[in-house]
Amino acid sequence: MGFTLDRERLVETMVEQAEIGATENGGLHRLALSDDDKAIRDWFDEQLTDLGLDVRVDVFGNMFARREGADPDADPLLVGSHLDSQPYGGIYDGALGVVAAIEFVRELEARDVTTERPVEIVNWTNEEGSRFQPAMQGSGVWAGALDIEEEYAKTDEDGVTLEEELERIGYKGDVPAEPQYDYDAYLELHIEQGPFLEENGKDVGVVTGVVGFTWGATTYYGEADHSGSTPMQYRSDALVAAADVITQVRRIPSTLGDRTVGTVGYVDAEPNSINIVPGEVTFTWGFRDPTREVIDEAKERALHEIEAAAEREGVDYEWEERMDVDPVHFAERCTDAVADAADELGYDAMEVFSGAGHDATYANHVCDTAMVFAVSEDGKSHTEEEYTSWDDCYAAANTYARAALTLAGRAD
Amino acid sequence: MGFTLDRERLVETMVEQAEIGATENGGLHRLALSDDDKAIRDWFDEQLTDLGLDVRVDVFGNMFARREGADPDADPLLVGSHLDSQPYGGIYDGALGVVAAIEFVRELEARDVTTERPVEIVNWTNEEGSRFQPAMQGSGVWAGALDIEEEYAKTDEDGVTLEEELERIGYKGDVPAEPQYDYDAYLELHIEQGPFLEENGKDVGVVTGVVGFTWGATTYYGEADHSGSTPMQYRSDALVAAADVITQVRRIPSTLGDRTVGTVGYVDAEPNSINIVPGEVTFTWGFRDPTREVIDEAKERALHEIEAAAEREGVDYEWEERMDVDPVHFAERCTDAVADAADELGYDAMEVFSGAGHDATYANHVCDTAMVFAVSEDGKSHTEEEYTSWDDCYAAANTYARAALTLAGRAD
């Protein structure tokens, strides 16, 4: 029995959401809990209300709506993603997942399909972690991985708290921010944000898990000496020590695995003056891999290098852990549903591991989970140049909808 | 015939000048052309006027006063240094040199000594190059190495021009900013700002020259990719490329000479976010050495590394020269005068090369020049912790005064 989405309507819905918080360059500036976020939440509410669904909002702003199935007491399927964006992001990151979920529900309505289980659709609060940290904040609180009071108190760079903003835009709901039902499964569509699908000429990705990651921050304390009159052997150059580590963070992954990545994204040197030896340098470092042991090994090697560099340069140091998240392996029955859907629809699919964290990471704490990846052109994301062709949007959304139907079960 | 300074008076004069622009921690905040700079200039004027000397100010704020000798037409000796300070500097950097020159002139008066040549004393404008760039600005304009109109137009971080400030504090004089006489020699006392004299247990340094230096700035252009989903082999990480160069700048000097130094003092990464691969990084690099050929070799190797790192990481780059100054070798007759003076006074002296630029660097364009170094405790400078004991101040100032007398010649 066929079940495919209306391509024209998918494109139309995507174009519609892309107007809210649109940038000049065809991207999105739709920060969590901003007025544009309020507008897209209102839009989301409207889409579902028009389908006759009741929308509920929890105390952390996560929005849910239910379409009943044959058995109202059956554990529901949860579908959805996030609608907030990066400061200058693309129109697909998160939004494509929510639109695909909306279109799935619309298609059920259009074809008058009765599912076995209820289907719930969700829009998570603050997945990007750009304006308020951390990322995946809404799903994290909901899954019990983050403490709601701590997260309410988080501030943006202007010192405004998350709770204030949630109230300001009118999305601090009344439902407790925790699973209201015993969900059977969670399925999320997202753009790959990486180059593998395109490089391998695939139409869609069957995501089998999410990498774990570890982030740390290190500060080296040296001596801010005069760069002219201080001989090399007298120096304690905090930036040289940091450079040694940056080089090793680049190298460590290549000794570990083909999916291991290591990054130094942030660096700050003091006094940062052309003719003074850097006396204090802070930088962040992190590794990601599908395997816990590999992450631990990478971290251990990095800490070893951090210490060695300090000794070599004669500087002091301190470091702190910023974040540590276990890898996630999705349940086979869910990933199978996705693989089978792609196969039935005649799409060329491949298994991939997600290198980026998603709401699905936290949902996996609560119920069986899987993801579908859409092709990212050039693997670009977190930029207005982020792009997925309508063909690829449709291929992924179709695969997603069919897999969702499998998990929800047909009662007719 | 003995000629030594009054130690008590030297200390008194040092303590007096240190009150103007004093910081809580016993240092100085006496930025060029600030109100504190005006106050210290007024104080300098007063010291000389009290000695019966006429003070003249040139159009760039450099202050001069003359004490006649036996032959008014003889080429004068020029003594002095600078009175402006770092934002949080010590009380000795520049000031000790001016005070030593004042005390030299005072002693000539006190002992009723008639010199052969006239003796002129100078306070140079903006030696530090902190509030306005570049360093050694007053002596640079005077020596014809810098263009006065360009330097008048330089702004501080609030956008105020140097010329405006000079006028505001009433020190835009009327004498042309160029040598008004055919100076026979210039002698300057300065703290070492390095560790050599102390490490070698010396009382005073006979400075035989000033290192040359070359400064450049490089920007690497990579790709600000998502740190999770972008495999290592797809990255163009501008910070990794910069780290490679920082490491080489550290190493290059050790392959060249024992006085060669290399520094990366400034680095700026964009977007500087924990989970985004750095897409653009700018950093400065520079080398100093007593020899022109060595400086050129260091620069060539650095540029080679900059290019190699760009290729290795797959990033683009551009670089620009920020400054290039030739090494300076002081005239033997002047350095001999200093060495003999130390010897006659029974001080333990050693020859040193100055690793920092001084007004003497530019004065050397105009006439024979030499410097005397005072011991710097721990080699520290450009910090409130800068320190030279009164014993060491006196040893250096005494050596300086005697050498100055030799160069000025005694007519009695």
Is B278 touching A (CB cutoff 8 A)? yes
Domain boundary residue, one of B274, B295, B324? B324
Is A175 domain-assigned? yes
State the smallest CA–CA distance between residue B319 and chain A in angstroms: 15
When the pLDDT of each residue in chain B is averaged and rounded to a whole number, the result is 95
When the pLDDT of each residue in chain A is averaged and rounded to a whole number, the result is 95
**Window B:243-262, CB contacts with A under 8 Å:** 243-244, 246-247, 250, 253-254, 258-262
Residue among A410, A339, A341 at smallest CA distance from A77: A410
Domain co-membership, B403 together with B319: no
| A265–B243 CB contact, under 8 Å | no
Set of chain A residues whose Cβ sits within 8 Å of the Cβ of B211: 228
Domain co-membership, A173 together with A233: no
SS3 category, A120: strand
Domain co-membership, A170 together with A204: yes
pTM (2 d.p.):
0.82
DSSP state, residue B149:
H
The CATH number given to whatever domain includes residue B203 is 3.40.630.10
Is A60 domain-assigned? yes
- Cβ atoms of B245 and B262 closer than 8 Å: no
The CATH number given to whatever domain includes residue A261 is 3.30.70.360
| A230–B288 CB contact, under 8 Å | no
Neighbouring-strand partners of residue A269? A281
Query: Which ipTM score applies to this complex?
Result: 0.81
Domain co-membership, B171 together with B34: yes
Residue among A99, A100, A84 at smallest CA distance from A28: A84
Set of chain B residues whose Cβ sits within 8 Å of the Cβ of A224: 382-383
Residue among B117, B121, B115 at smallest CA distance from B51: B121
Give the β-pairing of B119-124 and B77-82: parallel
User: Which residue of B lies nearest to A256 if distances are taken between CA atoms?
Assistant: B232
User: Which residue of B lies nearest to A275 if distances are taken between CA atoms?
Assistant: B265
Is B277 touching A (CB cutoff 8 A)? yes
Is A1 domain-assigned? no
* List of residues 6+ apart from B205 with CB closer than 8 A: B192, B196, B197, B349, B350, B351, B352, B372, B373, B374, B375, B396
Alpha-carbon distance B350 to B196, whole Å? 9
Helix A390-408 / helix A95-110 crossing angle, nearest 10 deg: 60
**Window B:316-335, CB contacts with A under 8 Å:** 322
Q: How remote is the C-alpha of A404 from its chain's centroid?
A: 20
Is A230 domain-assigned? yes
Alpha-carbon distance B169 to B157, whole Å? 18
**Chain A contact probe: residue of B93, B157, B197, B226 with most A CBs at under 10 A:** B226
User: Which residue from A230, A247, A276 is facing B243, i.e. has the nearest CB?
Assistant: A247
Is B288 touching A (CB cutoff 8 A)? yes
Residue among B69, B82, B261, B56 at smallest CA distance from B175: B56
Domain co-membership, A365 together with A390: yes
How much of chain B exceeds pLDDT 90, in percent?
87
| B277–A284 CB contact, under 8 Å | no
Backbone angles phi, psi at A370, to 5 degrees: -155, 165
pLDDT at residue A123, rounded to an integer: 98
Question: pLDDT tens digits for B185-201?
Answer: 999 999 999 999 999 99
Domain co-membership, A24 together with A119: yes
Number of domains chain A is built from:
2
Is A350 touching B (CB cutoff 8 A)? no
Largest CA distance in chain B: 85
Domain boundary residue, one of B280, B298, B324? B324
Q: How confident is the model at residue A87 (pLDDT cuts 50, 70, 90)?
A: confident
Helix B95-110 / helix B35-50 crossing angle, nearest 10 deg: 10
Q: How many CA atoms lie within 13 A of B28 on its CB side?
A: 32
Domain around A114: 7-211+327-408
Q: How remote is the C-alpha of A324 from its chain's centroid?
A: 15
pLDDT at residue B381, rounded to an integer: 83
Domain boundary residue, one of B324, B346, B374? B324
* List of residues 6+ apart from B218 with CB closer than 8 A: B242, B245, B282, B283, B284, B285, B306, B317, B318, B319
| Mean pLDDT, range A314-341, rounded to an integer | 94
Which position has the higher pLDDT, A228 or B191? B191
Domain co-membership, A205 together with A115: yes
Domain co-membership, A292 together with A189: no
User: Which residue from B230, B259, B267 is facing A269, i.e. has the nearest CB?
Assistant: B267
pLDDT at residue A1, rounded to an integer: 62
